[in-house]
Structure 1
Amino acid sequence: MEKLEATRTYWLTTNDFDEGNYLKPAAVLNYFQDIASWHAECLKAGYSHLLAANKIWILLKNKFVLYEHPDFFSRVKLSTWPLTTEKIYYPRAYQMKNDDGKIVGEGMSLWAIINLNTQMVTRDQWFLGTRFKDEQPLSFQKKIASFDQETFIDKYTVRSFDLDHYHHMNNAMYANLIHLVADRLSLLPLTNLEIHYLRQAKINDVISLYYHEDEQNIYITGKDDAHQIIFSSLIEKT
């Protein structure tokens, strides 16, 4: 039996590209989020279905690799499929192709389900089906390293336009903060990025942005006023 995937075609818009005509990291993650949400609705596991059961999805990790940047005003075909649920974790894979059918990018996300009554991750699994591809294009770091010696770059105050319908900072918007730091350090364009979401940022929260670098990787971290990590990210040097 053929293993399934969900596919949609997207026209990339001017807002998806930076001043160098490179696809923004936030645009990549926004398209991942869009097709994942659409596919979850198709599987009766979307926002409305979970909310009816007093549950919501929460995104724990995101990762993408671009093998080449799509052209300005081009069209991409984005595919996604859920992988086998791992206890409380729901991994999902992504693949991006250009009009010629060439794979130009791949990605992964890792989700869990929160019970709104307890505000805790639930162990009750939500069935997504079994007929999907089992190909995992990328793997996550178990944990992104943290460092005592980091360089402070800037602060960002969360605005209303950063929020999603849960009144938290939209997961794709964190990539804009990473983009800001990468731009300051002349690291653009980014061809890969992994983000781990550790705490939720809300309106008027101030996120302090820090940078660290070693021989293999670049680390960009966002922290709150108590110096607790909101998100950590890793960019592999290429």
Structure 2
Amino acid sequence: MITTEEYVRTESVASYEVGAQGVLKLSVLLRMAQETSEQHLGALGLGYEKLKADGLVFLITNNLVKIKRMPRHNDVLTIKTHPRGTAGVQFYRDFVFYIGEEEVIRIMQTSVSADPESHKILRPKVFLGYNIFADEKMEKEGRVERVTPPEGLPLLGERSIRYSDLDFNHHLNNAIYGDILLDYLPEEIRARGISEIQVSYVNESVLGETLRIFGGATGENEYLLYGENARGLGFSTRLLYGSL
């Protein structure tokens, strides 16, 4: 049964979704969350094409991911998502991933509604005007603040935006950042395993642009990485990793 309060789907981890460490790629995890919310809206008659025709698209602004363990090949995931209300112009939605009865991952995602052409942010009341989701306020203790990078982190390299990176909003898809992050993380951190990661999407990156990637350790078991494009800060990421 489809409800506005919860949407549930299952998905098996395919071989091509697993990376060099033998676990689900971070980019695939973010894609699964994106697709789950899209399926929820689609089942309620508010899929991407319908909303775009009405002059509205959603742009993700944050993904806060808490990982107990990453799934492996052939694991069957049950993914549950729940709209959590709004704070300012941002919509909140959470995702809980299970393997059997075991909860393995939680994601809190924020997004904004925007005009499809100009990407001008719309007030939440525009989407809430469909009268499908309740107009509720996200509790303060659960809100997500943008990751603010410190000054002085070293340049790690550059990443050009390619045609295959683009989504149907014509910018670098939010899930691709998961690949970029792993590509620029030091191997010793990848080996320890990520327990928590937040990606803040600040300025969209588009075809032909180049992201300049900066990063470094910012605390015990903490690493911060960010990218700058032609308009300034493109994205920022804070992650926690395990001990050896």
TM-score (norm 2): 0.86
- Residue 219 of structure 2 corresponds to 215
Report the 3-state secondary structure (helix = DSSP H, G, I; strand = E; otherwise coil) of the residue aligned with 2:211.
strand
- Residue 129 of structure 1 corresponds to 133
CA contact (8 A) 1:63 1:140 kept: no
CA contact (8 A) 2:4 2:133 kept: no
Structure 1: any 5+ residue segments left out of the alignment?
none
- Residue 149 of structure 2 corresponds to 146
Change (3 A) 1:199 1:118: closer
Matches of 1:119 and 1:8, distance apart in 2: 30
Deviation at residue 15 of structure 1 after TM alignment? 2.1
Alignment of 1:178 with 2:177, yes or no, is: no
- Residue 237 of structure 2 corresponds to 233
Change (3 A) 1:181 1:231: same
- Residue 112 of structure 2 corresponds to 112
Q: Which amino acid aligns with 2:114?
A: I
Report the 3-state secondary structure (helix = DSSP H, G, I; strand = E; otherwise coil) of the residue aligned with 1:202.
coil
Matches of 2:135 and 2:78, distance apart in 1: 21
Matches of 1:103 and 1:110, distance apart in 2: 21
Farther off after superposition, 74-83 or 38-47: 38-47
Matches of 1:199 and 1:107, distance apart in 2: 21
Alignment of 1:195 with 2:195, yes or no, is: no
1:1-238 equivalence runs, <5 A: 4-98=5-99, 100-116=100-116, 119-123=119-123, 124-127=125-128, 128-130=132-134, 139=142, 141-182=144-185, 184-188=186-190, 189-216=193-220, 217-225=222-230, 228-238=232-242
CA contact (8 A) 2:195 2:241 kept: no
Deviation at residue 131 of structure 1 after TM alignment? 11
Deviation at residue 117 of structure 1 after TM alignment? 6.2
User: Paired residues, what number?
Assistant: 232
Matches of 1:231 and 1:25, distance apart in 2: 16
Report the 3-state secondary structure (helix = DSSP H, G, I; strand = E; otherwise coil) of the residue aligned with 2:181.
helix
Q: For 1:180-224, what per-residue CA distance to the aligned partner results, in whole angstroms no more than 9, with x for missing partners? A: 112x34211323211110111111211111102222421110112
Matches of 1:119 and 1:159, distance apart in 2: 21
Deviation at residue 3 of structure 1 after TM alignment? 8.6
CA contact (8 A) 1:147 1:212 kept: no
Matches of 1:112 and 1:141, distance apart in 2: 13
Report the 3-state secondary structure (helix = DSSP H, G, I; strand = E; otherwise coil) of the residue aligned with 1:120.
coil
CA contact (8 A) 1:45 1:126 kept: no
**Post-superposition, which runs of at least 4 consecutive aligned residues in structure 1 deviate over 3 A?**
116-119, 138-141
Farther off after superposition, 109-118 or 163-172: 109-118
Matches of 2:126 and 2:108, distance apart in 1: 20
Q: Which amino acid aligns with 1:220?
A: L
Q: Which amino acid aligns with 2:148?
A: A
Report the 3-state secondary structure (helix = DSSP H, G, I; strand = E; otherwise coil) of the residue aligned with 1:166.
coil
Q: Which amino acid aligns with 1:219?
A: L
CA contact (8 A) 2:85 2:138 kept: no
Deviation at residue 170 of structure 1 after TM alignment? 0.8
Matches of 2:59 and 2:208, distance apart in 1: 21
Deviation at residue 20 of structure 1 after TM alignment? 1.5
Report the 3-state secondary structure (helix = DSSP H, G, I; strand = E; otherwise coil) of the residue aligned with 2:199.
strand
Q: For 1:148-183, what per-residue CA distance to the aligned partner results, in whole angstroms no more than 9, with x for missing partners? A: 21111111111111110111111100111101112x
